[in-house]
Amino acid sequence: MKQLRNTVIRAGMEALYFSGAHILLRPIFAGIGAIFMLHHVRPRRADAFQPNHHLEVTPDFLRAMLTHLRALDVDVISMDEAHRRLTERNFEQRFACFTCDDGYRDNRDFALPVMREFGAPFTVFVASDFAEGCGKLWWIALERIIAAASAIEVPVAGVMTRIDTATPQAKRTAFGRMHDWLRSLPGETEMQDAISALCARHGVDEAGIARELCMSWDELRGFAADPLVTIGAHTISHCNLAKQSETVALFELATSRARIEQALQRQVAHLAYPYGDRIAAGQREFALAKSIGFRTAVTTRPGMLFPESADYLTALQRVSLNGNYQDARLLPVLTSGAATAVWNGFRRIDAA
């Protein structure tokens, strides 16, 4: 199903490009700017099975996007500056922000050198448990489990079910099925228990993944000292906030910010909701982020920024730089706002 979805999205973007519709829609839907969303920035891996490939782009693709924005005379600015322009309603010049979720080490090793080439600021949203080396990146653990196994057994609806993972296609199907099942579980504890049991059964070092891939506090101190870098919050544990009680959700938001500020001795004013879609961040989460003083908070709901975005500073939409669509030809489609407009049924704001 995910493969079909990716194919449909690519076909839609190609149709917008070849028809020239993105050029016609640009004046209406390009808005005042965009917040671009990334996760990993690193060279392309050779692995045949990469179900999380959508979460990574190459340094060359990031460079191509920055070159494209420069050609359009778009300002690349920090989230602090975006907040200022939105609150002051200064929309004379189109702008773009770059954001990276989770705090991966490759943001320092591969993204930062590219951003330095352009003098472009960017924000990295850190989950404090990842920086402490005790967080659980379950989607990566699941990829490693399936990559190494020819079959896995999982308790679906209370019944142990054997899932074939012998071939690359079977692995892709299994990952999609397991990913959706894990996210559908009623709570974070149930999801973590399920993935931990699978890791134990298949010999995957779940605890070591954060230490392997994410920057530690010591690394973040040096990284945050770069004038192009802003550090934002991404909760403590990267949990689905909408599935938490209000007390727990507040604790995740406020404590993650406090831990980052204490460790880095820098103010944390910006937030990214983990997962960030409709089933993870909604009206309650937007209000909680505002109530504890975040200047902005970003979702994963697709969309450009418009003047009315100033009224929804803790529900800002982003444009994903998706690893499945790393084609420089599609960059004008992404920056035109046409693709996200079609996705949103031509609504400009999605903050309900």
In this predicted structure, the answer to whether residue 182 has a pLDDT above a threshold of 80 is yes
Q: If you count them, how many residues does the chain have?
A: 352
Q: How far is CA 14 from CA 11, 199, 210, in A?
A: 5, 39, 36
In angstroms, rounded to a whole number, what is the distance separating the alpha carbons of residues 258 and 245? 20
DSSP reduced 3-state for 233: strand
Which residues are bridge partners to 148 per DSSP?
A: none
Pairing of strands 159-164, 151-156: antiparallel
Q: At what angle do helices 217-224 and 246-264 cross, to 10 degrees?
A: 70
Q: CB–CB of 176/1 below 8 Å? A: yes
Report pLDDT digits (tens) over 22-54: 999 999 999 999 999 999 999 999 988 999 999
pLDDT of residue 154: 85
Q: Which DSSP state fits 43?
A: P
Q: CB–CB of 254/123 below 8 Å? A: no
Q: Rounded mean pLDDT of the chain?
A: 95
DSSP reduced 3-state for 232: strand
Which residues are bridge partners to 124 per DSSP?
A: 100, 231
Reported as a pLDDT band with limits 50, 70 and 90, residue 351 is: very high
Residue percentage of the chain with pLDDT more than 70? 99
Report pLDDT digits (tens) over 46-75: 988 999 999 999 999 999 999 999 999 999
| Token pair recorded at residue 242 | 């909408």
Residue percentage of the chain with pLDDT more than 90? 88
User: Which run of H or of E encompasses 153?
Assistant: strand 151-156
In this predicted structure, the answer to whether residue 3 has a pLDDT above a threshold of 80 is no
Return the higher-pLDDT residue of 159 and 59: 59
In angstroms, rounded to a whole number, what is the distance separating the alpha carbons of residues 156 and 154? 6
Q: How far is CA 103 from CA 46, 247, 283, in A?
A: 23, 25, 26
| Amino acid residing at 125 | F
Report pLDDT digits (tens) over 94-145: 999 999 999 999 999 999 999 999 999 999 999 999 999 999 999 999 999 9
In angstroms, rounded to a whole number, what is the distance separating the alpha carbons of residues 122 and 259? 21
pLDDT of residue 196: 94
The residue written with tokens 């079977």 in the block is: 170
Report pLDDT digits (tens) over 283-327: 999 999 999 999 999 999 999 999 999 999 999 999 999 999 999
Q: Where are the alpha helices (DSSP H) in the chain?
A: 2-19, 21-29, 59-71, 79-88, 105-106, 112-118, 128-131, 138-148, 168-184, 188-202, 208-213, 217-224, 246-264, 283-291, 331-336, 338-343
Reported as a pLDDT band with limits 50, 70 and 90, residue 1 is: low
Contacts 24+ apart (CB under 8 A), 327-333: 328/61, 328/64, 328/68, 329/17, 330/13, 330/14, 330/17, 331/64, 331/65, 331/68, 332/17, 332/22, 332/23, 332/68, 333/13, 333/16, 333/17, 333/22
Which residues are bridge partners to 101 per DSSP?
A: 125
Q: CB–CB of 132/217 below 8 Å? A: yes
Q: How far is CA 245 from CA 41, 248, 256, 270, 349, in A?
A: 34, 5, 16, 22, 27
